[in-house]
Amino acid sequence: MKRIIRPFLALAALLLAVGLTGCADGLTGVDEAPGPVQSRQQGKLRHAHLLDRAVRPAPATTGFDKDGTALQTEATTDSTVGLIIGTAEGIDPYKLFRRYKLFRRYEYEQVFDGLAGDVERARLDSVLEAMQLDPDILWIEPDAGVDDGAYLLEVLAGNAQGTPWGHERIGALDAPEVRDVDLFLLDTGTYTDDLNVTEQLAFTETASPADLEGHGYHLAGLMAAIDDGDGIVGVAPSAPVRSLKVLNESGTSTVADVVAALEYLVGQKQANPNRPMVANLSFGLDLGTPAYNALDLAVEAAIGTGVVVVAAAGNDGVDAATISPAHVPEVITVGAYDPNDQFAAFSNYGPVVDILAPGVDILSLATDALGRPALAVMSGTSMAAAYVSGAVAQFLQANPHASPAQVHDAVTHSGLATVLGVPSGTTNRTVYLGRMDNSGSGSQEATGTGLAGVAVPPFFQYAVTSGGTIWIGDQVTAAAPAGTRRNASVFANGKIDLYGRGSHIEGFGYYSRKMRVTDAEEAIFQPRYNPTELPSLQQVDELDVPALPMSDLRRKATRITEGDLVLSGHYELGTQENPLIWYVSGQLHTDGPVSFSGYGILLVEKHATFYHDVATTEATDASTLALYTGGQVTFNGPVSLAAQLFVDDHVTFWTPGAKIRGSITATGDVTLDRVTIEYRPASPALTEPIWGTSSTDAAAYTSSEAPADTTSPSGSRGKKK
């Protein structure tokens, strides 16, 4: 049965007229009152030109306060304007709902501090004027709409399993099942036929989480349809699909709804930090400017917790630099091409497009007019984004500890340069699953690498990670920087032994070996970020804590010391762009106080013992020193290091008052007593040269070329700068 909703050329004209983006993803607004919204105040008001597109009918309810009472005594018959408001940290959003008599929609505390609410159109100017002077409010923006904008070419009857043409182009014809990666679909919802759907929630006024429009089900099939003889086979067959419905049966919604779904998603990642998660966002909003909006901030927050976000570039045939969330650099932004390998005429383009994927005449799951399973053909960058989301799920199945930045790098550097007719400044590479795999194999056309078999350590996520037991004595504190939502969690493959008093951990305590937890012990752990109110101490599956092959890292060194290294005095290291990489084939110990300036990586084959004061002197919040050892690390003197430690043995602090501004990872036990850990995520400058997240080997010395401080096999002193 052929069902043409609209011709493509007519659709394209319509999209350009109303500014849609995404899988034509764009702006919608319901404006029943005559005339435009006149308020164009600046100051705290961002994206004021979108106010007209944040007008909607009067809400059905005024919303309720925390105690269950109505926020307003009467509903309104006037149309309203949706606002998203960013607040100072710690501000009660209900206070602002009451102060400005807003119709409550959402409160946010994970992706950013803020709220979403509607104000009567007649009061908009006075409310905005008052908000400009309110110290509790940091910024205000219109709650403009988003639209999936997809168009359906044809619905096909029958249940025979089909294969979309794009599978062959991206190397996914024989893709294995994916069971251990969650695919979050933020779209119109989905049906469950031919899918492994594990969750369905609605963040729209439509209570049903089912797909009443067709867009979401189509994308879910491309990503993860089961290989069972009917429907189609997805790029990541059988992957768990978690559907967060943010678009209604008309394919429209508001930024506030999407941000609410991202708030939930961030909570899920925080509650399950070791579970790889991918979010597919096949919609968007043309802001008319590269400046960020609330959706961009929420997407950044999701990526910051470890979620990989894939977004459609949009279907307007314009530069995607102003499209939210496609223009967020950390997002994997996807353009489209057709079966002839030609860049799709409708696809947005430009430098923010990271990769291309099939997006024209794409076959996937649908239902017919009677609700029976069927197949349908659709076109758009939405479909291209779904292809990439499936490929990312395959990659994360093999590399579950990869960070979003590493996945981004693997996707962009493994693409095949086969797409023709791309606009100037736009990539011509298609995602290719065969070059993203763990073997690192592929055509010599590749300009970079994926992870190439490297097991990425988990210190991106935890303040302390131990392959054994974490011993927490007296007055141990761990926290992320003030003003952030990041947890400073600890993870032990064995137990967390809380034998002291006065400790405070602003994060979760994860452990693998069964242990009895008392209320007093649980009270030590106070996560900053716990939207689902999980227990602060949790038993979880073990985490793979890999051992570094220290001798293999010798070739990366820019300085080599044969035998033991004795340190004393001040040492100047490298720059953030070019850190010193210092390899020691024996042990390291001190013969006096030691300080470091600049950025450096110490690779110590055996034990490292600091008998004296040791400190870094750079005035920066980021880690400036990385210490990687093949043996245990012991601190016997005062410590003040902006450092990330990765130790293939035990770590012990014996002197009270030690401070680490970074993270600690050890394959053995970690003993903490009167230690302060100011948790910082791993610094890319100190991580990439070791863990190989991009092609850096060419700049590294081989072992025979690296300049050595000395060839003496024992007791050599490092050269001071």
Amino acid at 136: D
Report yes or no: 530 and 110 within 8 Å, Cβ to Cβ: no
- Encoded tokens for 645: 């430690």
Report yes or no: 75 and 59 within 8 Å, Cβ to Cβ: yes
| 704 among known catalytic residues | no
CA pair distance 639, 657, nearest whole angstrom? 7
Partnered with residue 566 across adjacent β-strands are 589, 717
Report yes or no: 44 and 128 within 8 Å, Cβ to Cβ: no
CA pair distance 22, 296, nearest whole angstrom? 14
Which residues fall within 8 angstroms of residue 252, CB to CB, at 6 or more apart?
28, 145, 146, 147, 148
CA pair distance 6, 251, nearest whole angstrom? 15
CA pair distance 534, 172, nearest whole angstrom? 38
Which one is catalytic: 182, 187, 257, 649? 187
Report yes or no: 315 and 347 within 8 Å, Cβ to Cβ: yes
Strands 565-572 and 182-187: unpaired
| 613 among known catalytic residues | no
* Residue 440 CA from chain centroid, whole number: 23
Exposure of 133 in the CB half-sphere (CA atoms within 13 A):
5
Report yes or no: 556 and 700 within 8 Å, Cβ to Cβ: yes
Which residues fall within 8 angstroms of residue 482, CB to CB, at 6 or more apart?
none
Helix (H, G, I), strand (E, B) or coil at 84: strand
Helices 255-271 and 294-304, packing angle to 10 deg: 10
Which residues fall within 8 angstroms of residue 711, CB to CB, at 6 or more apart?
562
* 365-381 burial: b if 16+ Cβ within 10 Å, else e: bbbeeeeebbbbbbbbb
CA pair distance 625, 663, nearest whole angstrom? 11
Which residues fall within 8 angstroms of residue 358, CB to CB, at 6 or more apart?
164, 165, 166, 169, 170, 336, 337, 338, 339, 383, 384, 387, 430
Sheet with 332-337, edge to edge strand ranges? 197-202, 241-245, 182-187, 277-281, 308-312, 332-337, 355-358, 429-430, 416-417
Element (H, E) at 435: none
Residues 413, 415, 418, 419, CA torsion sign: negative
CA pair distance 421, 347, nearest whole angstrom? 12
Which one is catalytic: 215, 218, 327, 589? 215
Which one is catalytic: 243, 253, 324, 382? 382
Amino acid at 614: V
Report yes or no: 210 and 253 within 8 Å, Cβ to Cβ: no
Instruction: Tell me which residue has tokens 């933020």.
Output: 186
Report yes or no: 427 and 448 within 8 Å, Cβ to Cβ: no
Report yes or no: 291 and 46 within 8 Å, Cβ to Cβ: yes
Amino acid at 276: P
| 215 among known catalytic residues | yes
DSSP category for residue 599: B
The candidate with the shortest Cα–Cα distance to 474, out of 658, 614, 640, 636, is 658
Question: Annotated catalytic sites, by residue?
Answer: 187, 215, 382
